[in-house]
Amino acid sequence: YGAPPISSVRIRTTATPQSTARAEKAAENKFRNKETMSDERTFIMLKPDAVHRGLIADIIKRFEQKGFKLVAMKFMIASEDLLKKHYADLSSKPFFSGLVKNMASGPVVPMVWEGKGVVKTGRVMLGETNPVDSKPGSIRGDYCIDIGRNICHGSDSVESAQKEIKLWFKDEELVNWKPCCYPWIYE
- Which residues line the annotated binding site for ATP? 47, 95, 123, 129, 140, 150
Whole-angstrom Cα distance, residue 123 to residue 68?
A: 13
* Active-site hit among 41, 69, 86, 153: 153
Whole-angstrom Cα distance, residue 71 to residue 21?
A: 33
Identity of the amino acid at 41: R
Q: Which of 113, 92, 183 is nearest to 155 (CA)?
A: 113
153 noted as active-site residue: yes
Whole-angstrom Cα distance, residue 84 to residue 135?
A: 30
Number of helical (H) and strand (E) elements in the chain, helices listed first: 9, 4
Q: Which of 94, 70, 95, 72 is nearest to 167 (CA)?
A: 72
Binding-site members are: 47, 95, 123, 129, 140, 150
Whole-angstrom Cα distance, residue 1 to residue 66?
A: 47
Q: Which residues are catalytic?
A: 153
